[in-house]
């Protein structure tokens, strides 16, 4: 239990968190439950989507990502957005524990930084449900599936960029120590840079190809 | 000159702006120069694009918007992002005057709020040049023109949303008075909600139509 002078383990130490209740669960339990639950849900999507021969392997991988990121946005980040006092939680409620633990990597969560809350709000309320919609759109090959995936991925990139930029501008001193800085703040968030970047490129190419092909057809008709 | 107790005309009065130099130009000059310059540039784009019969009227209107918003992002917002001490400017430099004046509607500009600087940074550095690229993409009917316009428009919407959400979360008390609140903070920004929304819908439809048409063609071929 890393409770220091301020009554909480977070940096900066002068961050005021009255009635802070220390995290009960240990790190491996908190991270383990998240990863295990995610793996189970992703496996179900992988197996069920495999029953439909018309869904390509790539699309099945994308569906696994979208269920994972969508539920992360809605459940984990959704809880954070609407629970300003999670750090006072005494009930050992798992989602409160998650954010008490994550705040060691970025105390702006416990401190309710307005940029963090805004970005998380957009992510949880708009991008979360939209991510789940992509599963339906991909499975049924809706014509809007590329535009939708591009829109959400660019939104995730924009949000992550604001998240990092505001941290740097505000002094980049919100992690309890270097381990939490790299494990939570850098590593965990890096997935929401690399994967949305790859999906954006994929969808961008698909869109350009379709637009180009359709206009080529039109031209041929005119001739 | 609305210099009050704090030595500056901004709200909250306890905002510290050492060496603040009051705005020299009056409001109608500042706003007038912006609108007049914009009108001249937009007119040039309208006239020149009209010389190419293959560019539709709608595309010409879009080009006018993109030159206007692109130069606003790069010149006005670009200056703000890289000039943290604009409020100390004594040279009557026009761009410093713009932000001294605008800060009456939102003092977070003078106060260098990190969320505002982050959003403006992304807008000026990424969306500004991308906006100018759309002119070339529309004029030459590049297959990426819809994806590009959708990407920038959604970015503008995301930025404006973060801009308003952070203001609300931080108490929504950054305007010198109700006039500046509605004229600068609400009205001026509302254009970057309505127009990007309309362009997003337009491009979304175009993309879905192209993807749908291309897949319909594929299906027909398979049959």
Verify whether the Cβ–Cβ distance A169 to B117 is below 8 Å: yes
Mean pLDDT over A54-82 rounds to 98
Q: Which residue of B has its CA nearest to A123?
A: B158
Q: Above 70 in pLDDT, residue B101?
A: yes
Output the CA–CA distances (angstroms, integers) from residue A138 to A49, A141, B57, in the order listed: 10, 5, 35
- Which residue reads 């609300």 in tokens? B168
User: Which chain A residues are closer than 8 Å to B118 by Cβ?
Assistant: 115, 161-162, 165-166, 169
Q: Which is nearest to B43 in space by CA: B26, B64, B20, B72?
A: B64
Position A218 confidence tier, pLDDT thresholds 50, 70, 90: confident
Write down the H helix ranges in A72-188: 78-81, 94-102, 114-122, 128-139, 145-169, 178-180
**Per-residue model confidence (pLDDT) at position A219:** 81
Q: Above 90 in pLDDT, residue B89?
A: yes
Q: Hey, what are A182's tokens?
A: 């790299």
**Per-residue model confidence (pLDDT) at position B4:** 47
Rg of the Cα trace of chain B? 20
Verify whether the Cβ–Cβ distance A162 to B213 is below 8 Å: no
User: Which chain B residues are closer than 8 Å to A213 by Cβ?
Assistant: 210, 214, 217
| Residue A159 near chain B (CB below 8 Å) | yes
Q: pLDDT tens digits, residue range B197-211? A: 999 999 999 999 999
Verify whether the Cβ–Cβ distance B118 to A162 is below 8 Å: yes
Q: What percent of chain A has pLDDT over 90?
A: 93
All residues at 6 or more sequence positions from A129 whose CB lies less than 8 Å from its CB, including other chains = A70, A74
| Residue B172 near chain A (CB below 8 Å) | no
Q: Give how far A180 is from chain B: nearest CA, Å.
A: 23
Q: Above 70 in pLDDT, residue A56?
A: yes
- Which residue reads 């002068």 in tokens? A14
Count contacts between A and B (CB, < 8 Å): 117
Verify whether the Cβ–Cβ distance B122 to A169 is below 8 Å: no
| Residue A46 near chain B (CB below 8 Å) | no
Q: Which residue of B has its CA nearest to A153?
A: B151
Position A2 confidence tier, pLDDT thresholds 50, 70, 90: very low
Q: Testing the interface with B: which of A166, A201, A205 to mutate, by most B Cβ within 10 A?
A: A166
| Residue B121 near chain A (CB below 8 Å) | yes
Q: Above 80 in pLDDT, residue B3?
A: no
| Residue A146 near chain B (CB below 8 Å) | yes
Verify whether the Cβ–Cβ distance B161 to A215 is below 8 Å: no
Q: Above 90 in pLDDT, residue B110?
A: yes
Position B219 confidence tier, pLDDT thresholds 50, 70, 90: confident
| Residue A28 near chain B (CB below 8 Å) | no
**Per-residue model confidence (pLDDT) at position A4:** 47
**Per-residue model confidence (pLDDT) at position A1:** 46
Verify whether the Cβ–Cβ distance A165 to B118 is below 8 Å: yes
Position A3 confidence tier, pLDDT thresholds 50, 70, 90: very low
Q: What percent of chain B has pLDDT over 70?
A: 96
- What's the pTM value of the predicted model, to 2 decimals? 0.96
Q: Testing the interface with A: which of B123, B166, B202, B203 to mutate, by most A Cβ within 10 A?
A: B166
Q: Hey, what are A173's tokens?
A: 């001193």
- Dist CA B13 CA B176 (whole Å): 9
Q: Above 50 in pLDDT, residue B214?
A: yes
Q: pLDDT tens digits, residue range A85-120? A: 999 999 999 999 999 999 999 999 999 999 999 999
- Say if residue A4 is preceded by a cis peptide, omega within 30 of 0: no
Write down the H helix ranges in chain B: 27-50, 57-71, 78-81, 94-102, 114-122, 128-139, 145-169, 178-180, 189-222
**Per-residue model confidence (pLDDT) at position B133:** 98
| Residue B165 near chain A (CB below 8 Å) | yes
Q: Above 90 in pLDDT, residue A221?
A: no
User: Which chain B residues are closer than 8 Å to A162 by Cβ?
Assistant: 115, 118-119, 122, 162
Task: ipTM value, please give it.
Answer: 0.95
Q: Above 50 in pLDDT, residue B1?
A: no
Least confident of A56-60, B49-53, B217-221: B217-221
Q: pLDDT tens digits, residue range A152-193? A: 999 999 999 999 999 999 999 999 999 999 999 999 999 999
| Residue A143 near chain B (CB below 8 Å) | yes
**Per-residue model confidence (pLDDT) at position B40:** 98
Q: Testing the interface with A: which of B150, B172, B210 to mutate, by most A Cβ within 10 A?
A: B210
**Per-residue model confidence (pLDDT) at position B221:** 76
Question: Beta-carbon neighbour count of residue B14 at 10 Å?
Answer: 7
| Residue B210 near chain A (CB below 8 Å) | yes
Q: pLDDT tens digits, residue range B144-182? A: 999 999 999 999 999 999 999 999 999 999 999 999 999
Q: Give how far B25 is from chain A: nearest CA, Å.
A: 31
- Dist CA B192 CA A55 (whole Å): 38
């Amino acid at each position: 239990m890393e409770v220091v002078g301020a009554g909480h383990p977070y940096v900066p130490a002068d961050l005021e968190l009255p009635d802070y209740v220390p995290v009960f669960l240990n790190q491996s339990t908190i991270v383990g439950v998240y990863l295990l639950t995610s793996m189970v849900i992703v496996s179900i999507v992988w197996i069920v989507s495999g029953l439909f021969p018309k869904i390509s392997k790539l699309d099945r991988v994308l569906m696994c990502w979208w269920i994972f990121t969508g539920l992360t946005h809605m459940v984990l980040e959704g809880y954070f957005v609407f629970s300003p006092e999670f750090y006072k939680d005494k009930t050992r409620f798992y989602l409160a524990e998650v954010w008490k633990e994550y705040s060691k990597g970025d105390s702006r969560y416990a401190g309710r930084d307005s940029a963090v809350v805004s970005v998380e709000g957009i992510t949880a309320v708009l991008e979360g449900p939209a991510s789940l919609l992509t599963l339906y759109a991909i499975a049924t090959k809706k014509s809007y599936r590329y535009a939708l995936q591009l829109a959400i991925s660019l939104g995730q990139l924009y949000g992550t960029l604001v998240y990092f930029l505001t941290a740097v501008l505000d002094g980049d001193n919100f992690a309890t120590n270097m381990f939490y800085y790299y494990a939570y703040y850098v590593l965990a968030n890096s997935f929401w840079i690399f994967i949305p970047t790859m999906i954006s490129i994929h969808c961008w190419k698909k869109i350009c190809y379709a637009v180009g092909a359709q206009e080529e057809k039109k031209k041929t008709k005119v001739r």
